Amino acid sequence: MRKINKIIVHSSATRPSQDIGVEEIRDWHIKGNGWSDIGYHFVIRRDGTRELGRDIALSGAHCKNQNSRSLGICLVGGVTEEDVKIGENNFTDAQFKELQTLLKQLLTEYPNIVRIAGHRDFANKACPCFDVQGFCEKHEICVADR
């Protein structure tokens, strides 16, 4: 088993009206990027449904220089309805509730996790269009408390 020490949260950079999931993103990543599979390990749809993406035993393809030791979570949404170049925190309450549940579960399953961050913490991007560390603090999801 690979050593996982980070969780990185992303957005799909899709409009709030787009209800997509693992299969659509997998298609984009394989056909559009030439990758072997979807880059994320988990996708959280607009209704809060969690879908499994890439096998956790395999490195993701979601954050340059961070993939080998991280898990990638993607929330569907993250850009305005009018312009996909404008990032927006438009995630649903159901998505945030499932993100909270998933993060707590992963911290229990992977005791070596030392950081939960947004993609924007590693790249010059807006993704996921909200402060992941602030979200974790608000919901008492702390890596230091374990």
Q: Is 41 a catalytic residue?
A: no
Distance between CA atoms of 5 and 94, rounded to whole angstroms? 26
Task: Choose the catalytic residue: 6, 10, 29, 41.
Answer: 10
Tell me whether residue 127 is one of the annotated catalytic residues: yes
- Is 110 a catalytic site residue? no
Residue 76, number of CB atoms within 10 A of its CB: 27
| Catalytic (active site) residue 142 | no
Contact 89, 75 (CB under 8 A): no
54-59 contact pairs (CB < 8 A, 24+): 56/4, 57/1, 57/2, 58/2, 59/2
Query: Tokens for 47?
Result: 């209704």
Tell the residue number behind the tokens 């395999």, with chain if given: 58
Query: Bridge partners of 73?
Result: 9, 42
Identify whether the C-beta of residue 7 lies closer than 8 Å to the C-beta of residue 71: yes
Q: Which of 29, 40, 62, 129 is catalytic?
A: 40
139 annotated active-site: no
Catalogue the active-site residues: 10, 40, 119, 125, 127
